[in-house]
Amino acid sequence: MKQDDIITQSPLGQETAYVNTYDPSQLYPIARDINWKQQGVERSELPFSGVDIWNAYELSWLNMRGKPEVRLAEFRLYADSENIIESKSFKLYLNSFNLSRFESEAEVRARLLEDLGKAAGGRVDVRIYHPDQAPEFGQFTGFCIDNQDVEIEHYSPAPELLTTGEDKVEEVLYSHLLKSNCPVTGQPDWATLGICYSGIEIEREGLLKYIISYREHGDFHEQCVEKIFMDIWQRCQPESLSVYARYVRRGGLDINPFRSSDSEDIDNLRLSRQ
């Protein structure tokens, strides 16, 4: 089945009844490699590993006396799992805890681990913490490329904008100007993008133009980051590469995909826009 057919069957863009009693069937998985298969690329051929970090700011349930408990949660779904989880379905699933009673936070975490692991078809990590323990804001280290005075002509992905110079470098670059759109509703998804690489220097003007070229592109967060990784990997041929997007939250969730040629994991760096 093509991705367009799959996402039209998802909760995205449809009127949905909000269920407030525990219901793991709300989760809607989508195969991670469906786009790559349509391009004739097998998962085993992809040169990256990684993780998708989800932060939930609206997790709540009832204790056994009916009193609400409120928590924040961090979920890690690894890029070697079979599926991503469609974001609205994730939100509906978390809402289903709202009027359900649980013996303890440990029981809630166990349910989350089991349900998300089944839907993702792979490893999942879950951390639950009290609102008073929320992580402090941080920022990307490295050089922000946004202050360049560039003329923009492309608002759909244009990998031909990526070029290299002559010097060999090892550097971290980042931009606050990444914007893509939900592939169904067209709602904007805003993000800060970090790129860490070693190899022949990537020309910064072309890189900024390339990042901005996603402005009218419709795709899931995870797929945008994988496409960015692959475009840089193929056109600039770095020796090592990591791409990390920190997306602004929507519906009480933010999604932060990380893809790397060297590592599958990364710190959960909360930025000021999150």
Residue of 52, 80, 149, 182 with catalytic role: 182
Residue of 52, 115, 189, 219 with catalytic role: 189
196 an active-site residue? Answer: no
182 an active-site residue? Answer: yes
Give the three-class secondary structure for 208: helix
Residue 4 near residue 95 (C-beta atoms within 8 A): no
Q: In this structure, which long-range contacts are made by residues 10-14, counting pairs with CB atoms below 8 Å and at least 24 apart in sequence? A: 10/86, 10/88, 10/89, 10/184, 11/86, 11/88, 11/89, 11/92, 12/86, 12/87, 12/88, 12/182, 12/183, 12/184, 12/185, 13/184, 13/185
Task: Provide the CA 259 distance to its chain's centre, in angstroms.
Answer: 10
As beta bridge partners, residue 196 has 172, 242
Q: So which residues are the catalytic ones?
A: 182, 189
